[in-house]
Amino acid sequence: MKGFSFVFWNRRLGGNSRMINLSEVCLGLVWAIGATMAACLVLGLWILFSSSGVFYFSWLLKGVSLLGTFIGGLTAGRRVQNLGWLHGALVGLTYGLVFTLLSFFNGLGAFSNLDLAGRLGAYTLIGMAAGIVGINLPGSVSGRRLPRIYRQLN
């Protein structure tokens, strides 16, 4: 597990290396919602053009929303240079809160409070794990050059 990191501990990056970058959290949220909407569109087309039953469609929608959370957390973790787990968790938490607000607007009896709390926790944990994966992906960060300590010496 050498080279695997939850945070980047070098203080030479600058004065704001310990701060949360809200623009990256918002970008991760946009990616999460966009990926979920694209996957729901594909599922809707699949139902429209197939003749098979949709008995397990609710499970597919849950999986799609978790996949969207993972993609959003991965994007946020990939773009930041520090605290990928926190940025991913914030993407998951925000995505879960958006889902909760939408379910309240749909009707108060749509989901139980325990189900909403479980989903919020699952979104947060999936986002956190995706942020950890995203910060540990090799390569450049958002098109910029990596700090000198990441580059290999020739």
Residue 144 lies in a domain: no
Residue 14 lies in a domain: no
- Structural domain harbouring 127: 21-48+57-135
Residue 151 lies in a domain: no
Phi, psi of 50, deg, nearest 5: -105, 160
Number of domains the chain contains? 1
Residue range 19-57, pLDDT digits in tens: 788 888 899 999 999 999 999 999 888 888 887 777 777
Q: Name the band, by pLDDT with cuts 50, 70 and 90, for residue 140.
A: very low
In the chain, pLDDT over 90 holds for what percent of residues? 30
Sign of the C-alpha dihedral computed for residues 124, 130, 136 and 141 taken in this order? negative
Average pLDDT over residues 117-128: 91
| CA 24/CA 26 separation, integer angstroms | 5
112: number of CA atoms within 13 Å, CB side?
3
Q: Give pTM, 2 decimals.
A: 0.75
